[in-house]
Amino acid sequence: MRRDKFFRLAALAGVAALVTTGCLSSSDEGSTSSSGDGDTAGAGGSDPGDGVVEISGAFSGAEQEGFEKALVSFEEESGVDIEYTGNSDFTTFIRTSVQGDPPDIALFPQPGLLLEIASDAGTVVPIDEFLDAGALEETLIPSLDSNTDSEGVIFGAPMRMAVKSLVWVPKAYAEEGYSLEPATVQELEDIAGEIKASGTPPWCIAYESGAATGWVGTDWIEEFVLRTSGPDVYDQWVSHEIPFDAPEIQEAFDAYGELIGPDADNVRGGVDGILSTPFGEAGNSSFDTPPECYMQRQGNFIAGFFPADVQKDLDANVDVFVFPPYEGGYDGQPILGGGDIAALFNGEDQESKDVMEFLTNDQFGAEWAAIGGWLSPHRTFDASNYPDETTRKIAKIAADADVFRYDASDLMPPEVGADSFWKGSVAWVDGSQSTEEVTADIEASWPTS
């Protein structure tokens, strides 16, 4: 399963109003925030000065190996032993542990959960108490900072990034003369029309993901909300300042409908193919000779699902370009994505603060980057550390973005983001509900408290 998307399986009740779009610098009130009083914040973790820093997060396996390799140099130079524990049910773990025995540092897979914990448990230390927030803002990808509460207090700093606004194509795409630099969605639709006229469905799209079927569709809608109406409307949608069935959101559904065509006839397999094909297999047929489809809009993680021979040499087998802006919509290049956010619980331990500074600086991660599976959230990270040109290109796409926004459904209440929005995406694409009907039903599912 794709970790960065399935974070939504955890409950995020009550956090939508906390999502803001401001910069990393906190308000003048500093730490007078919803985190609770100063006597409780930062009281957890290991004993101060014991030479051990405990970190908990959601990733394991190869990701954990990469992370631990990136820690070696710090441990050798500082003498601090960093103990990382990965937990596939991180949401349950962190909610339980903050009640009595939190780790020194937690790596949150989405900002909504972090803000919920900061608000309810009162144990997260605002970062401006131990980090230079202004210096961080100067190097971070634009707006990769949805970890600020409604009072402007910052509770975490990004240490890993995911980029979703990507279009993956086989080498055959450019060899056939199709552009790798479409300036607008409308230009991309024109290219799709040329491909379709040649006898091949242009788009590779698949929703099937077991109980989570439909999340791919939510990503598509989020991409279009960002492009047709812009980041301000996107933020209002996430925080429910505008309803889910607002005209701007319905416009995004309809724009997506234009791209995939009536009855999804621009997509390999049509509606049946979308709903029955496992999401990780959506683009694999693009590597057939000749390709059975050409374009897959999906996050940087999807390379791990490509056929083994393709993965062995991405640069020789694939091209990737940014999902472009929408003509007549937001005047800029937005990027949809996600990331892991480091947050401090043990405010009494200088060693933990030092580790936080290490994890969130723009040089962290070179060893992890070299083996693949990691992107720095910093524009100033040395891209030569990445293992291939494809990854370097993705990093540049993110660095060049005018605005970055976290996945909306990861930030919405679980009744919506991990339920009705998923289901509505399926009902809409299979034609059982119209745009008006599906958005009204999703709006009705939004919790009232």
191 shares a domain with 275: yes
Tens digit of pLDDT for each residue in 302-323? 999 999 999 999 999 999 999 9
pLDDT band at 365 (very low <50, low <70, confident <90, very high): very high
99 shares a domain with 80: yes
Q: What are the structure tokens assigned to 89, written together?
A: 């049910």
Distance of alpha carbon 363 from its chain centroid, rounded? 21
For 16-41, what is the mean pLDDT? 36
69 shares a domain with 120: yes
Q: Residues near 311 by Cβ (< 8 Å), separated by ≥ 6? A: 303, 304
Give a yes or no: residue 22 inside a domain: no
289 shares a domain with 424: yes
Relative to beta strand 166-170, strand 105-108 is unpaired
Tens digit of pLDDT for each residue in 373-420? 899 999 999 999 999 999 999 999 999 999 999 999 988 988 999 899
Residue 289's nearest CA partner among 190, 203, 175 is: 175
Give a yes or no: residue 234 inside a domain: no
315 shares a domain with 210: yes
Residue 2's nearest CA partner among 219, 277, 341, 280 is: 280
For 111-139, what is the mean pLDDT? 88
Give a yes or no: residue 235 inside a domain: no
Cβ-contact 228, 252 below 8 angstroms: yes
266 shares a domain with 173: yes
Residue 420 is predicted with a pLDDT of 97
338 shares a domain with 198: no
Give a yes or no: residue 356 inside a domain: yes
Amino acid identity, residue 294?
Y
Residue 88 is predicted with a pLDDT of 84
148 shares a domain with 57: yes
283 shares a domain with 210: yes
Give a yes or no: residue 352 inside a domain: yes
Residue 17 is predicted with a pLDDT of 32
Tens digit of pLDDT for each residue in 432-444? 999 999 999 999 9
pLDDT cut 70: percent of the chain above it: 89
pLDDT band at 144 (very low <50, low <70, confident <90, very high): low
Give a yes or no: residue 119 inside a domain: yes
d(CA 163, CA 338): 7
Domain that holds residue 356: 53-163+334-386+394-408
Residue 29 is predicted with a pLDDT of 35
Residue 149 is predicted with a pLDDT of 79
Higher pLDDT, 436 or 143: 436
Residue with tokens 């606004």: 165
pLDDT at 11 over 50: no
Please state the domain count of the chain.
2
Cis peptide upstream of residue 290 (ω within 30 degrees of 0): yes
66 shares a domain with 213: no
Tens digit of pLDDT for each residue in 30-75? 333 333 333 445 556 778 889 999 999 998 888 999 999 999 999 9
Residue 430 is predicted with a pLDDT of 96
Look up the CATH number of the domain holding residue 307: 3.40.190.10
For 142-168, what is the mean pLDDT? 85
Tens digit of pLDDT for each residue in 200-233? 999 999 999 999 999 999 999 999 999 999 999 9
Cβ-contact 45, 160 below 8 angstroms: no
Average pLDDT, the chain: 88
Tens digit of pLDDT for each residue in 240-288? 999 999 999 999 999 999 999 999 999 999 999 999 999 999 999 999 9
159 shares a domain with 177: no
d(CA 449, CA 444): 13
Give a yes or no: residue 46 inside a domain: no
116 shares a domain with 73: yes
Give a yes or no: residue 221 inside a domain: yes
pTM, to two decimals: 0.85
pLDDT at 192 over 60: yes
For 88-100, what is the mean pLDDT? 89
For 1-7, what is the mean pLDDT? 38
When computed from its CA atoms, the radius of gyration of the chain, rounded to whole angstroms, is 21
Q: Residues near 435 by Cβ (< 8 Å), separated by ≥ 6? A: 250, 253, 254, 257, 428
pLDDT band at 362 (very low <50, low <70, confident <90, very high): very high
